[in-house]
Chain A
Amino acid sequence: MTGLFVTQKDLQKNIKFNEKKIWWKNFKHSIRELIKCRTAFIGTIIVLSFILVAVIAPVIAPHDPLKASIIKRFIPPFWIEGGSTTYFFGTDEIGRDIFSRIIYGARVSLLVGLITVSISGVLGTVLGSIAGYYGGRFDAILSRIADLLLSFPDLIFAIFLMAITGPGFFNLILILCFKSWVNFFRLSRGEMISEKTKEYIEAAQALGESDVQIIFKEILPNIIHSLLVLATLRVGYFIILEASLSFLGLGIQPPTPAWGSMINSGRAFMLTSWWISTMPGIALLVLVLSINLLGEGLRDILDPRLKLE
């Protein structure tokens, strides 16, 4: 900076610096709000601990999740007569430790949920932003496809495609993404349409920013919060969907421990050994519940318009 003149570069630098500061301030504010909102905080803690457990599963699992043993079949959980703390939640129909299998199963659930949401979120947001910003034929065609995809029940759609591709981890993710980008598409498209008529867009256009810059640098930061909330809630949804598919034998294949297939395998023994189905279900419930708590907490903080009082 020389003398009285402020160059455009300086101005931009200054704006950038301020933007960063504001962003950081917002971020700190959100974290503080999250801690203040007790339920959301609990949700966050539980979700984080599930992630930790999944990452360090080999360290904390007391037994090999795949090791079967004929003599150790149907051992009940430790609080029931005949059970012991060696097998915390008991053993299943071929003598594997349920607790260890639940720990390893968290890996599958979280991986499927997170990867699916990342892929479909990015895809849906990019397509939705472009469709919403430009409108026209591109928008019309994509919206039509979105309507078409939405007219199938999720589960039947997934079962149908799984039957075509065959089961497996990557097929599963591919198929879940195939339909789920639509939700992100619709949300970002709608937000984009309402956002693009605002004044700051006109200002950006006057400054000579390109369309790509306007979409991704101007508008997207303003709508990202609602997308983030949707993404969080969708993680829980996908975890349930994956479990449902594994339950039907179409998702993750045995012997890889997945909660859905564990619940299914216990179904044949629910008259005598109820814990085989019940325990992985509780893990599933707690994880999804915490994700939902986190998601709704985030929504209350980031997107108060949608707040459910």
Chain B
Amino acid sequence: MKSTKILERILIAIPTMLIIAILIFVLMRIMPGDPVDKMMGKGGNINIEEVQALEREFHLDLPISAQLKIFLSGIFHGDLGMSFQERRPVWELIAERIPPTLELALCALLFSLIISIPIGIISAVKQNSLIDRLGMAFAFLGISTPAFWLGIVLIIIFSVKLSIFPVYGRIAYVYKPIHITGMYVLDSILSGNWPALKDSIMHLVLPSVSLGAALAAVTTRILRSSMLEVLRADYVTLARTKGLSEYMVITKHALRNALIPTVTVVGLQVGMLLGGNMIIETIFGWPGLGRLVVTSIFNRDFPVVQGAVMFYALIYVAANLIVDIIYTYLNPKISL
């Protein structure tokens, strides 16, 4: 893909993001529930002057249009505002939550690819075999299982009954590695802290499986069906008649083309992995972005919600763009 095209796509994304930001801004403010009430807590004894001071501090005493102006000018300066609850810059809060969410999403993706690529290929090559039938049955089960219930059942089986994996959290406190990237697996490898590595991986297994199961199922099915289609194509027959080994035919000729539809699906699902996992984060006590958004919505913490939602939109746009770039790499005939 030409760089001008990429630039164009990014430029188109900017007004979309702005509209989203304004929409969220207005919607948050018509939401019932007063953020100052939430900030003060329900302890009673509320001093009216304190309330006014808070409102002034966060510009809540101004009309909505004036607030919007402050918000928009902030965005152009790269400032997302201050969190009402934590009194810290929003970008700081979001930046803190990205590594755990990213770590979980990447592990879920890894899990789903490890499962789906071999099963997808074998199922297609050995169509209607036992492996194929079993694989497809599991894939079907995978797309029909609600992730949050799967998470709970996995906890009941593997944490409660068998006590193999921990129930909750990212890592045992004693093992916590020094902060480098914020992703504990990476941090513990970088700092050579092997007990921490083991512990963080143990904490990652169940949430990754619950989150990645559906993706694994979808990917397996897509890969299998596109492999089947490709294996019947003329150029695969030609490759076979040329006397290439079956292994070469499958990996060099068929797989590459079968991967195109798969990449689309996986790419778009990664956006979902990052954005739709607040339930998994809630169940496993994972301090990620999804949980931040949910608690901020309940606390009427406007700036955090605005910032996080814009971040989600950004991920979506980026995921689409990356999918398109990989597309052109896999099939140079497609030009965008």
Chain A residues close to B by CB (< 8 Å): 147-148, 150-156, 159-161, 163-164, 166, 236, 240, 243-244, 247-248, 263, 266-267, 270-271, 274, 277-278, 281, 284-285, 288-289, 292-293, 308-309
Other than the given A281-B149, A284-B149, 7 more pairs (CB < 8 A) read A151-B16, A152-B20, A152-B312, A160-B24, A160-B27, A244-B146, A293-B140
Known contacts A156-B278, A292-B140; A267/B316 CB under 8 A: no
Which residue of B has the minimal Cβ distance to A39? B140
Residues of B within 8 A of A164 (CB): 27, 30-32
Which residue of B has the minimal Cβ distance to A296? B140
Task: Contact check, A288 vs B144: say whether CB atoms are below 8 A apart.
Answer: yes
Residues of B within 8 A of A155 (CB): 275-276, 278-279
A273 CB to closest chain B CB (Å) equals: 10
0/1 interface trace, chain B 21-36, chain A, CB 8 Å (1 if under): 0001001001110000
Q: What CA separation (Å) do A303 and B154 show in the bound complex? A: 37
Q: What CA separation (Å) do A266 and B203 show in the bound complex? A: 22
Q: What CA separation (Å) do A267 and B154 show in the bound complex? A: 12
B272 CB to closest chain A CB (Å) equals: 6
Task: Contact check, B276 vs A154: say whether CB atoms are below 8 A apart.
Answer: yes
B234 CB to closest chain A CB (Å) equals: 18
Q: What CA separation (Å) do A308 and B148 show in the bound complex? A: 27
Task: Contact check, B221 vs A153: say whether CB atoms are below 8 A apart.
Answer: no
Residues of B within 8 A of A156 (CB): 275-276, 278, 290, 293, 309, 312
**Pick the contact of B297 from A147, A160, A263, A284 — CB < 8 Å?**
A160
Q: What CA separation (Å) do A266 and B297 show in the bound complex? A: 25
Known contacts A153-B272, A156-B309; A285/B144 CB under 8 A: yes
Task: Contact check, A281 vs B146: say whether CB atoms are below 8 A apart.
Answer: yes
Known contacts A263-B152, A271-B160, A309-B224; A159/B297 CB under 8 A: yes
Q: What CA separation (Å) do A154 and B312 show in the bound complex? A: 11
Task: Contact check, B140 vs A166: say whether CB atoms are below 8 A apart.
Answer: no
Task: Contact check, A285 vs B145: say whether CB atoms are below 8 A apart.
Answer: yes
Contacts between chains A and B (CB distance < 8 A), count = 113
Q: Does B127 contact A (CB under 8 A)?
A: yes
Q: Which of B31, B149, B275: most chain A Cβ within 10 A?
A: B149
Residues of B within 8 A of A285 (CB): 144-146, 149
0/1 interface trace, chain B 112-141, chain A, CB 8 Å (1 if under): 000000000000000100000000000011
Task: Contact check, B275 vs A292: say whether CB atoms are below 8 A apart.
Answer: no
A289 CB to closest chain B CB (Å) equals: 4
Task: Contact check, A247 vs B228: say whether CB atoms are below 8 A apart.
Answer: no
Q: What CA separation (Å) do A150 and B24 show in the bound complex? A: 15
Q: What CA separation (Å) do A309 and B139 show in the bound complex? A: 14
Q: Does B211 contact A (CB under 8 A)?
A: no
A152 CB to closest chain B CB (Å) equals: 7
Q: Does B183 contact A (CB under 8 A)?
A: no
Residues of A within 8 A of B143 (CB): 292
Q: What CA separation (Å) do A266 and B152 show in the bound complex? A: 10
Residues of B within 8 A of A248 (CB): 279, 282, 294
Q: What CA separation (Å) do A236 and B272 show in the bound complex? A: 18
A111 CB to closest chain B CB (Å) equals: 18
Task: Contact check, B275 vs A278: say whether CB atoms are below 8 A apart.
Answer: no
Task: Contact check, A163 vs B19: say whether CB atoms are below 8 A apart.
Answer: no
CB-defined A-B contacts under 8 Å, sample of 21: A153-B271, A155-B278, A159-B278, A159-B294, A161-B27, A243-B146, A244-B146, A247-B279, A248-B279, A266-B152, A267-B283, A271-B160, A274-B160, A278-B153, A281-B146, A281-B153, A284-B146, A288-B145, A292-B143, A308-B221, A309-B225
Known contacts A248-B294, A292-B143, A309-B225; A281/B152 CB under 8 A: yes
Residues of A within 8 A of B140 (CB): 289, 292-293
Residues of A within 8 A of B27 (CB): 160-161, 164
User: For chain B residues 153-187, which have a beta carbon within 8 Å of chain A?
Assistant: 153, 155-156, 160
Which residue of A has the minimal Cβ distance to B13? A151
Q: Does B102 contact A (CB under 8 A)?
A: no
Q: What CA separation (Å) do A32 and B24 show in the bound complex? A: 50
Which residue of B has the minimal Cβ distance to A154? B276
Residues of B within 8 A of A266 (CB): 152
Task: Contact check, B146 vs A277: say whether CB atoms are below 8 A apart.
Answer: no
Q: What CA separation (Å) do A270 and B127 show in the bound complex? A: 41
Residues of B within 8 A of A274 (CB): 156, 160
Residues of B within 8 A of A161 (CB): 27
Task: Contact check, B148 vs A247: say whether CB atoms are below 8 A apart.
Answer: yes
B7 CB to closest chain A CB (Å) equals: 19
Residues of A within 8 A of B309 (CB): 152, 156, 160
B2 CB to closest chain A CB (Å) equals: 22
Q: What CA separation (Å) do A293 and B140 show in the bound complex? A: 8
Known contacts A274-B160, A309-B127; A151/B20 CB under 8 A: yes
B35 CB to closest chain A CB (Å) equals: 12
Residues of A within 8 A of B221 (CB): 308
Known contacts A274-B160, A309-B228; A151/B317 CB under 8 A: yes
Q: Does B72 contact A (CB under 8 A)?
A: no
Residues of A within 8 A of B229 (CB): 309
Task: Contact check, A244 vs B279: say whether CB atoms are below 8 A apart.
Answer: yes
Residues of B within 8 A of A288 (CB): 144-146
Q: What CA separation (Å) do A274 and B229 show in the bound complex? A: 44
Task: Contact check, B16 vs A153: say whether CB atoms are below 8 A apart.
Answer: no
Residues of B within 8 A of A309 (CB): 127, 224-225, 228-229
Q: What CA separation (Å) do A286 and B158 show in the bound complex? A: 22
Q: What CA separation (Å) do A285 and B283 show in the bound complex? A: 18
Q: What CA separation (Å) do A128 and B152 show in the bound complex? A: 39
Q: Does B298 contact A (CB under 8 A)?
A: yes
**Pick the contact of B225 from A154, A166, A247, A308 — CB < 8 Å?**
A308
